[in-house]
Amino acid sequence: MQTQYRQAIDQHRQRIFSFAHYSLRARQDAEDVTQEVFIKLWQHWQKIDHSKLGAWLMRVTHNAVIDHVRKNRSIQKHVDDYADVSDQASSEEHGKTIDEQAFKQLLMAAIQSLDDPFRSIVIMRDIQGLSYAEIQKILDISESQVKVYLHRSRRKLRENPQLRQLFENYGGASSNTVAESTSDIQQARSD
């Protein structure tokens, strides 16, 4: 049992920690959640359906993250961090090339500030690459709801004023780059 438990930890630790990290941002909080999840795995080891271990772990992680957010009320702190990063990014001159690092920092803060389930779905689908079916099992909602929530999450991210401001500060898009983008996407699909 101990060997199997260790294997389960090795197999799922990255996914669990990533989810907690992108949800909570503070590394210490993500570490606490990861420990909590694996302790629960140990406590419930004999009751779990091991064919659905990944979904069970993600569900427990999701619940632990929600509890953590409620307990610590840390969202406000990260919103403040987010505003700081935004101000810094806007005030610096980076030419016309978007500052990827600043953009990603803002994006991570924006993801963290989303409400659940929007936050969880965008992390599971776009960062962790889970399938719609896996997300459906974890969150216990229908596949079509997952898609609707995902598109709404992305729209909410795009509506974030600081993120949009940073994008527009660097010149937005020209029709050429858009044409390249659409043709790149179609080319990638045909490949």
Partner 1 sequence: MATNSDSQCYFIQLQIDSFIDDDLSAPQRETFTSHIHQCKACANEFHYAQTVQDAILDLPLIDCEENVLEPIHRLANGPAIAPETTSSSIWSQLGAMLSSTPVFARYALPLAAVAVVAITVFPVLTEQSLNVPMVAEHSAGEQVEEFSPEDIAKALQDLNLAIDYLNQVSQRTEVMIGDRFLITPLQDSLNASFERASSRRQDRLQDDPI
Contact present, 170 and 97 (Cβ < 8 Å): yes
- 133 binds partner 1, rule: CB under 8 A: no
Contact present, 51 and 137 (Cβ < 8 Å): no
Contact present, 43 and 49 (Cβ < 8 Å): no
Shortest Cβ distance from residue 86 to partner 1 (Å)? 15
- 6 binds partner 1, rule: CB under 8 A: yes
**Per-residue string for binding with partner 1, 35-74, x by CB under 8 A?**
x--xx--xxxxxx---------------------------
Q: State which of positions 19-38 bind partner 1 (CB under 8 A).
A: 21-22, 30-31, 34-35, 38
The Cα 93–Cα 97 span in angstroms is 10
Q: Phi-psi bin for 114: left (phi > 0), alpha (psi -120 to 50), beta?
A: beta
Candidate residues 5, 50, 80, 165; the one interacting with partner 1 per rule CB under 8 A: 5
The Cα 108–Cα 96 span in angstroms is 22
Among 104, 103, 101, 123, which residue's Cα sits nearest to residue 33?
A: 123
Residues that bind partner 1 (CB under 8 A): 2, 5-6, 9, 13-15, 17-18, 21-22, 30-31, 34-35, 38-39, 42-47, 98, 100, 103-104, 107-108, 111, 122, 126-128, 147, 150-151, 154-155, 157-158, 163-164, 167, 172-173, 175, 177-179, 181-182, 185-186, 189
